[in-house]
Structure 1
Amino acid sequence: MSATTSATVGRTTPTRVGPAFIAIYALAMFGIWMAINLPASVTLALRISEIDPDGKTTSYSIAAGVGTLTAVLANPFFGRLSDRTRSRFGRRRPWIAIGMVGTTVGAAVIGLSNSFPMLLLGWVLMQAFVNAAIAATLAIVADRVPEAQQGIVGSLSGAASAASLVIGVFFIQAFPTSILAQIGLPVAVALVFAAALIAVFKDDTPAEEPLPPFGAKEFFGSFFISPRREPDFAWLLLSLFLISAAWGVVSTYTVYLLQDVIRVPEGDLGNVITLVYVVPGIIAFIVGPLAGWIGDRLGRRKPLLAASAVIGGVGMAVIAWSTDVPTFLIGVTLVTGVAAGIMMGTYIAFGIAAMRDKLAAARNLGVINIAITLPFSLIPFVAPVLLTVGGGTANYFALVLFGGALAICGALPLLGVRNAR
């Protein structure tokens, strides 16, 4: 692995990375995602059920909302700090290490807590620090990987996220009564693989020159991209936001759609929900790296992302007119499997190509994370209005078509992206 100097970071073309580096990078992303995805999906809810059985639904809603807000803010903020870091150990490795230590502390607080406020503190720590590690790790693609490989390497983050939950469930099955094991073992896996990545990423370099003090302007700048200065990047953010809206509708209302629209019997609901999550997850795991590889081969990301928008819209239309489980599954697979897989396999390389300031890669990718994540937080506030359209029973048809329309509209901002293909 060739060395680079701090004077040339972001200005020279990185040499190709080998299979060993790619494998370790993928494993590190897998471990880091599993450390947070498993508690976000399963373990946190189980722990809240133990601590606050009577108020678990309210407590879980609070924890989920606060956790999402923490993640949305922490990713670009810590990315900004990473971009500015002048440590002799580089600017990414220190934050991967800090992030994993903080994640471990947060997991321990959750596992040992005996009250909801203490659990919430642990969850905030986990969400904040795991996003520090995620921001720094994603930026390695911009720092170390040449453009011809950025699609396939960048896509591994999405594939790793999809795989982490499927494999992480085995920790739940192996230790059904031990919350410490359920939450601690995924973190232990993340620590091992993150340490391996830190060890092989020896040419991590510090920020190029002394930067202004980190004041209020720098802090708020962590969350904002100027459309005037970064027009291509701003149009890409809008596209990702709109495409993610369809994903957000499906992810938020799958259970209610199955209950109230498809009318799945209560006794079959658990199996159907598992099917609806696992099948698209496997498809996304396959489609993401494939989309990344195709983008690398073509040297173009825009057509792939436009295809993701259209496929997502078509999938939402299929869901809207579904009356049985097989048809519903086809629609969900198009949205959260194919469309989401293409988007997750494309957005990192496309984002790097669209950003003007490559030296702020971690911050910029963190802002992309806001664009992708924000619809999941906003949909629950918009949905009640759409569900009341026409009066009578909940109008899921209007909600789903609205999400599909937003997804298709996500292709339009790509027309404004001029200098990235």
Structure 2
Amino acid sequence: MTVYQDRFFSARRAARSTLLVPVLGALGYAGCVIAYLPLLTLLLPLRVEQIAGDARFGVLATALIAGAVMASVSGIVFGWLSDRALERGGGRRPWIAAGLIATLASYAGIAVARTPEMLVVAVMVFQVALNAALAPLVALLAEESLDRQKGVMSGLLGAAQPFAAAIGPLLIAWTAPGLGLRLAAIGVIATLCLIPLLATSARPTAQPGGRTVAASSRDLGLAWIARLLVQIAGNVLFAYLLFFMEQFVAPSARATVPVEVGGLILAANIVPLPIALVLGRWSDRIGRRKPFLVAAALLDATGLVVMAGAQGWAVAAIGFGLYSIGWSVFLTLQIGFVMQLLPNPRRRGRDLGLINLSNTAPVLIGPALAWGLATPQSFAPLLLTLAALSLAGGIAMLGVKGRK
């Protein structure tokens, strides 16, 4: 083998090596999304409806808010603990594995809950366990991937949503088992997704120039606010979509709504996947992400306006599809954008835990908005408010000066 051949194959091996973490990390992230998305969007609302009946709005809001508080605190704590473990020569993977085991155990509490109070407590425990795995995982992705790959990695992370959304309709269509067996199936799939990443060794990647370019606190604050505003709509819509779509069918036909909503969530999440991958790669090549983020927020708001004016299932579904494309693309591309704004490589876990408040805080705000603005007969005021918030989130990204 010549020197040039040796260099060629060495370069190919290095390229494959640097792609290993984005690919396996995205698969592991999908496992975490699978662990919560089918539960919170379909199984939990159905269980709340069974337990609480006409009080389902209040019980679901209480469960989501209490869970979000626990997720917010635990995301910061476990991110910081994984930072400390890394400083002491350990790693983040043991924390991810422990969080996975705790999440699997927490499903038992949800399965046996028989009262609204028991269910709320079980959801709180579940959120702590899930974030024990998720916070170190996101920090690992930030430190073991190159900046020039973060757009592609963001696109791959975006695949987690449709992958997880595919599980929900299958579980609902699987009519024979009870809630416990359905949760066990979710746990098995999530574990299979995380095992490949956990089996690899740590491979921190040095960025060109020695570290990621630091951003100002103002830039980080604006990016945080933008994500918060866009996420409010997502948390409300996916939690209450089942109730929203029920208004377009006769009471006698409502038994089929969960399956149809599950299929709608699946379709609306598959379509944005190739779009996010292409735009992520495009943003890597041109070094600009803000134009894509603003356009995605505008599409997000447009879909919500269409839903607000819908008088039938078909128009509501189209609006939800437009919304989902914009929402998914915005959040997907902003993951890589925010990772590039982190100022301290030694505190990625803690800082991403703080950034994650923009994902969990909407669960505190969203249900309050839904409770105050929506009724089983009218969601229009709520949807128009969410459209305004999403548009404001896109405009906020224009104020970030440290990155294009």
Post-superposition shift, 1:130?
Answer: 1.3
1:5-404 alignment runs, 5 A limit: 17-44=17-44, 52=51, 57=56, 60-86=60-86, 90-111=90-111, 120-171=120-171, 173-174=173-174, 176-203=176-203, 230-260=217-247, 263-268=248-253, 270=257, 273-336=261-324, 338-383=325-370, 386=373, 396-404=379-387
Post-superposition shift, 1:135?
Answer: 1.2
Contact 1:235 1:414 in 2 (8 A): yes
TM superposition score normalised by structure 1: 0.77
Task: Compare the two structures and name the one with the higher helix fraction.
Answer: 2
Per-residue CA shift, 1:323-344, capped at 9, x if unaligned? Answer: 33332222211112x1112123
Per-residue CA shift, 1:1-59, capped at 9, x if unaligned? Answer: xxxxxxxxxxxxx9774555444323222222212223323444566678x57798365
Distance in 1 separating the partners of 2:220 and 2:317: 34
Distance in 2 separating the partners of 1:42 and 1:386: 22
TM superposition score normalised by structure 2: 0.80
Post-superposition shift, 1:351?
Answer: 0.2
- The DSSP-based 3-state class of the residue aligned with 2:107 is helix
- The DSSP-based 3-state class of the residue aligned with 1:165 is helix
What is the root-mean-square deviation of aligned Cα atoms in Å?
3.3
Post-superposition shift, 1:234?
Answer: 0.6
Contact 1:232 1:355 in 2 (8 A): no
- The DSSP-based 3-state class of the residue aligned with 2:158 is helix
Post-superposition shift, 1:177?
Answer: 2.2
Contact 2:219 2:402 in 1 (8 A): yes
Distance in 2 separating the partners of 1:246 and 1:54: 25
- The DSSP-based 3-state class of the residue aligned with 1:135 is helix
Change (3 A) 1:358 1:186: same
Per-residue CA shift, 1:65-105, capped at 9, x if unaligned? Answer: 32232223222221122222247663311211221121122
Report the more deviating stretch, 235-244 or 164-173.
164-173
Contact 2:297 2:327 in 1 (8 A): no
- The DSSP-based 3-state class of the residue aligned with 1:145 is coil
One-letter amino acid of the structure 2 residue matched with residue 247 of structure 1: G
Distance in 2 separating the partners of 1:355 and 1:16: 26
- The DSSP-based 3-state class of the residue aligned with 1:410 is helix
Paired position in structure 1 for 2:3: none
Identify unmatched segments of 5+ residues in structure 2: 1-13, 206-214
Paired position in structure 2 for 1:415: 398
Per-residue CA shift, 1:182-217, capped at 9, x if unaligned? Answer: 212322333343232122133369xxxxxxxxxxxx
Paired position in structure 2 for 1:11: none
Q: Name the count of aligned residue pairs.
A: 378
Contact 2:21 2:145 in 1 (8 A): no
Change (3 A) 1:77 1:333: same
Post-superposition shift, 1:149?
Answer: 0.9
Per-residue CA shift, 1:369-404, capped at 9, x if unaligned? Answer: 32133234313323455569xxxx976443322221
Contact 2:102 2:129 in 1 (8 A): yes
